[in-house]
Amino acid sequence: MNLLVEAQIIIPKEEVAPPTVPMDYDWARELGIIRKPASFMTTICDERGNELTYAGIPITRVIKEELGIGGTLSLLWFQRRLPTYATKFFEMVLMVTADHGPAVSGAHNTIVCARAGKDLVSSLVSGLLTIGERFGGALDGAARQFSQAYDSGTIPMEFVNQMRKKGELIMGIGHRVKSINNPDMRVKLMKDYVKQTFPSTPVLDYALEVEKVTTSKKPNLILNVDGIVAVSVVDLLRNSGCFTREEAQEYLDIGVLNGLFVLGRTIGFIGHYLDQKRLKQGLYRHPWDDISYILPEQNLDKHGQHTRKT
């Protein structure tokens, strides 16, 4: 070897150190040297241990202590246990918003889809997609309008006049069927419960004063279900002692109110789907006599082409 090197037949090269083999990932993580970043975070539920927990409370306690749907909602939506009057209020909201007949847009869509042979989830979603500011989804807007007006010290008459000048609707006010002479019993039930059990109801009281102004102008401009739920939840979040003012506002901003209507009305939509399937209703086709066909008048020119009649 040395002779070959001296004869420059073999030219030695500098030895290269072997690369360091990376530490095994699982081993390194077990030693606490590294950690894997989480893809997302959750604060409401943990299924990894011996027992499922909702906001840290084992499911056995949820059942044994009879927290019910309202208590479960408080854990999964608000990450805390709320007073009994609050959880019963949420259950009342779900009951009074569960359904309002087949004529409303959401139930109508669900029924049409069910009769077209669609599955439950597709039919349910078709109904839920109609929820918005015109149907059922005015809760967030009502809470924002009433709470801002109350917080700013605007008197009810001035608030109504301001909204009229801006050409904006007052969310949570008005009903197509119910009026001050034909009151909505759902609203009455909720108003009575809230006034009897909540520690304080300043925003609800303000909304009722606004209702006095609006119904003096038109009898159907009542505080509707959206409105009573919205202002009651504002009072609950602000005055229950379970939330800071900032936390209360954050929940209002992220849409917890419309979530209540969506959850409640889902019960009714599923009911309509099952009802149509049970009744074995066929494909729905809207009757011609209920459609106004407004088409442009046309005639044929000398070449046989359609031309619009002027």
Whether 63 and 127 share a structural domain: no
**Domain range spanning residue 70?**
45-81
Domain-embedded: residue 160: yes
Whether 145 and 224 share a structural domain: yes
Domain-embedded: residue 32: no
Identify the pLDDT of residue 307.
64
The pTM (predicted TM-score) of the whole model is 0.83
Give ∠ CA 110-113-116 in degrees, rounded to 5: 150
Query: What confidence tier does 133 reach under pLDDT thresholds 50, 70, 90?
Result: confident
String of b and e for 51-80 (b: at least 16 CB within 10 Å)?
eebbbebeeeebeeeebbebbbbbbebbee
Identify the pLDDT of residue 27.
87
57-79, pLDDT tens digit by residue? 999 999 999 999 999 999 999 99
Identify the pLDDT of residue 14.
83
Site of tokens 């030693």: 31
Mean residue pLDDT across the chain: 92
* Residue of 222, 158, 215 lying closest to 185 (CA atoms): 222
Whether 154 and 70 share a structural domain: no
Whether 193 and 239 share a structural domain: yes
Q: Which residues have a Cβ under 8 Å from the Cβ of 18 and sit 6 or more positions away?
A: none
Identify the pLDDT of residue 5.
77
Percent of the chain with pLDDT over 90: 76
| Token pair belonging to 93 | 């909201």
Whether 148 and 254 share a structural domain: yes
